Amino acid sequence: MSVHLLQHAWIEGRVRDAVLVEIEHGRFTRVTPDAADAADGADRVGGLTLPGFANTHSHAFHRALRGRTQSDRGTFWTWREQMYAVAGRLDPDSYYQLARAVYVEMLAAGYTAVGEFHYLHHQPDGTPYADPNAMGSALLAAAQDAGIRITLLDTLYLSSGFGAAPEGVQRRFDDGSAEAWQDRVAALRIPDGAGDRARIGVAAHSVRAVPAAALKAFTPSVDAGLPVHVHLSEQVKENEDCLAAYGLTPAGLLAEHGVLGPMTSAVHATHLTDEDIRLLGEARTFASFCPTTERDLGDGIGPSRRLEESGAVVTLGSDSHAVIDAFEEMRALELDERLATQARGHWSAAELLTAASVDGHRSLGFADAGEIAVGRRADLVTIDLASTRTAGTGADEHTAVFAAGAADVTRVVVDGRVVFDGDHRSVGRSLSEKIGRIWA
């Protein structure tokens, strides 16, 4: 058992002082505020401690593109060509090395779990590796060795776009058929020792990449309540092409084929009709917003507040990793709404913390994480209250959401284990080395 006295901590929806937490077998067994007198022998943790955040949408290899795609103006589609160039260079070993460094960066930014939307399955010409799950297994091992929880969302990708055959690097993504994909996913194994810190979920890449006839492959997972993720309406062109192909919007198509449900996450959900919002809300679907990526790619601003009010549940992801910073994603949701509406106050700091922590974890199949509460998984994210960003900001939830950044994280605990001690420079050195090797 370990005992910690947290100077300030976010519990039961507000910041309390002198919070004594006891941790046993990776879970909180006691959480008591105003307990300074009972803290003899406790490990004293200064600053503001928050629950662990869940990064609900990640493509780990995109991290190698940060800062390298900005010289030409370009579009989403020209950015995608650059992304494909990196995808073409990776093998299971180099992907393990890169992903491990990226997952450590996530821990150092306050994330204690990641939903890895994984589609880089095969060799460059599309031939499966000797172990057809070598790439997915590399990601699971990378997460385990970094110390972050992972839900590996093994992704079905069959088409370059509404019936066109995969070409170039897309052959690495393609299993040939939904049945072959199902067989491969069924053979995927959680690594020894990962225990309940890893899960397997599934994803449909998008309605571009999964023909309507193949969507039934997701029915077993929807019915079983397993995480099912899908890119949805990130681009106007996807909507136009979907309407032309099927006479339905992407959300309409997914609803028609039973893919929407309370453990389904619609990723981006940017360009939606009123009816799309109604369908996602009615199904109680998660909507994984990725504001820093959507900003970087010029995708647009999705209707986050309207989705939440319709019954959908918003979560947050860092997607392309142009930025990895749980705090920046939280405030971006509110600040984007302010720009779009010329009004303030759409999302409260408490709601944003909930979206990033409890709701995000739930969408990845970790319903017992994301809260500093008895019985929950013992995740703790502590931020410095004396940095140039946080000093003088009040030390409450508004400090966390509207002032702090990833650089303020001083300590991260996942399932009771300290996995980050505040040394951001060593995280940077490792990323520099691993990404340098990919571009060499």
Question: Which 342-401 residues touch Zn ion, going by CB under 5 A?
Answer: none
Is the distance from CB of 352 to CB of 331 less than 8 angstroms?
yes
CB atoms within 10 A of CB 78: 12
Interface size with Zn ion, residues (CB under 5 A): 1
Is the distance from CB of 84 to CB of 64 less than 8 angstroms?
no
Closer residue to Zn ion, CB minimum distance, 238 or 319: 319
Nearest to Zn ion by Cβ — which residue? Answer: 319
Residue type, 20: L
Question: Which 157-186 residues touch Zn ion, going by CB under 5 A?
Answer: none
- From 4, 268, 271, 346, the catalytic residue: 268
CA 319 to CA 128: how far, in whole Å? 25
Closer residue to Zn ion, CB minimum distance, 49 or 239: 239
Rounded to a whole number of angstroms, the minimum distance from the CB of residue 124 to Zn ion is 21
Is the distance from CB of 156 to CB of 205 less than 8 angstroms?
yes
Question: Which 289-328 residues touch Zn ion, going by CB under 5 A?
Answer: 319
Is the distance from CB of 203 to CB of 229 less than 8 angstroms?
yes
Rounded to a whole number of angstroms, the minimum distance from the CB of residue 254 to Zn ion is 16
**Contact residues for 377 (Cβ-Cβ < 8 A; gap 6+):** 26, 27, 52, 366, 368, 369, 414, 415, 416
- Active site (annotated) includes residue 319: yes
Rounded to a whole number of angstroms, the minimum distance from the CB of residue 14 to Zn ion is 34
Closer residue to Zn ion, CB minimum distance, 209 or 409: 209
- Active site (annotated) includes residue 268: yes
DSSP, collapsed to helix, strand or coil, labels residue 95 as helix
Phi-psi group of 104: left, alpha or beta (phi > 0 → left; psi -120 to 50 → alpha; rest → beta): alpha
**Contact residues for 154 (Cβ-Cβ < 8 A; gap 6+):** 118, 121, 136, 181, 184, 185, 188, 200, 201, 202, 203
- From 154, 276, 319, 415, the catalytic residue: 319
Rounded to a whole number of angstroms, the minimum distance from the CB of residue 313 to Zn ion is 18
Rounded to a whole number of angstroms, the minimum distance from the CB of residue 397 to Zn ion is 29
Closer residue to Zn ion, CB minimum distance, 175 or 319: 319
Closer residue to Zn ion, CB minimum distance, 11 or 153: 153
Catalytic positions are: 268, 319
Residues that bind Zn ion (CB under 5 A): 319
